[in-house]
Amino acid sequence: MRLVWSNMPDYYEYTRMIPVLLEFDLFGVPIRIYSYGLMMALGFLSAGYVIWLDCKRRGIDAEYASTIIFWAALGGIAGSRIYHVIDNWRIYADDPGSIVWSSAGFVWYGGLIGGLTAVYLVSRYYKVPFGVTADMCGPALAIGQAIGRLGCQLSGDGDWGLPSTLPWAMAYRNAIVGWNSDTVLKVDESGRLVSAFFPGVRVHPAPIYETLLYLGVFWILWRMRTKLKGPGRVLCLYFLLAGAARFAVEFVRVNPRVFYGLSEAQLIAIAMMVIGGLAFFYLGAQTHELGAKARARA
């Protein structure tokens, strides 16, 4: 077994990424540990721990937490892939084989739909109310996103933002997708993406922005999980806050504008906020009404 550390950035090149954390040969087989994969795994583990803590508080078998994470991970990966294929069908129609074999193209919103669908089925199987399960998943989703975006930052997977001259703007010189005229982009007057690459260009570290915002979302949800009355309201609050976070970050992210200066992700974020907000207040009113009827009967 021969252990070889991947190229690490010198201190004066702090803006370089580390897409490959570790690589080694194991009995002649090359093994690579990617920063994105590691942070994704840590995100799932952290989410699982958060759900486990809530299961313990609610008196639910801890096995339920690991089951949720396992199936949510599978459903999330499948959903994110399906969403990407549908959204880019013209590309995949020319090469259907890439739908299965390509390692690119995983979309968060598709993963959210797929993951929640899997969680719903698991809750039905274990006969745990979906509203209760959903509330346990709200903070878990936020902490998972926060850690997952660190993987985007470390690997330089192209999720960085638009060119910037702010003091904390950075260059992703060792990005796994490359740092060139094809990946450093800006939005033109028509809302389309065009090249913005030039020597010394720096961009918004959008993954860091998202990590900080989702940590804030997690903090709010974690504090509110024992205060909100009515099952399902914590997840509704997650939709509202996470949608607002993504809507804000999209203004500096590299995505084409498709409707009145807004990106597709922003339109979905608006839908998340509207659905989450309306459901939050509806479930709150319903819980209040049920409580009032119970007090009247007493």
Q: Count other Cβ atoms within 10 Å, centred on residue 42.
A: 16
- Interatomic CA distance for residues 115 and 180, integer angstroms: 34
Lowest-confidence pick of 18-32, 66-80, 194-208: 18-32
Q: Which residue has the higher pLDDT, 209 or 88?
A: 209
Q: Which residue has the higher pLDDT, 24 or 94?
A: 24
- Interatomic CA distance for residues 276 and 243, integer angstroms: 9
Instruction: Note the pLDDT of residue 298.
Output: 66
The answer to whether residue 4 scores a pLDDT higher than 50 is no
Question: Could you tell me if 233 and 165 are in contact, meaning their C-beta atoms sit under 8 angstroms apart?
Answer: no
Indicate if the alpha-carbon torsion angle 266, 86, 109, 98 is positive or negative. Answer: negative
Instruction: Note the pLDDT of residue 112.
Output: 81
The DSSP element (H or E) to which 26 belongs, if any, is strand 20-26
Q: Which residue has the higher pLDDT, 8 or 153?
A: 153
**Exposed e or buried b per residue across 196-221, where buried means at least 16 C-beta atoms within 10 angstroms of its C-beta:** beeeebbbbbbbbbbbebbbebbebb
- Which residue do the tokens 């339920």 mark? 64
Instruction: Note the pLDDT of residue 16.
Output: 59
DSSP one-letter string for 196-224: ---TT--B--HHHHHHHHHHHHHHHHHHH
Instruction: Note the pLDDT of residue 107.
Output: 65
Q: Tally the residues of the chain.
A: 298
- Interatomic CA distance for residues 135 and 49, integer angstroms: 14
Instruction: Note the pLDDT of residue 12.
Output: 34
Q: Kindly calculate the radius of gyration of the chain based on its CA atoms and give it in whole angstroms.
A: 21
* Phi/psi of residue 263, nearest 5 degrees: -85, 170
Query: What's the rounded mean pLDDT across residues 234-258?
Result: 95
98-108: per-residue pLDDT in tens? 455 444 555 66
Instruction: Note the pLDDT of residue 111.
Output: 79
Instruction: Note the pLDDT of residue 11.
Output: 33
89-145: per-residue pLDDT in tens? 566 566 555 455 444 555 666 778 888 899 999 999 999 999 999 999 999 999 999
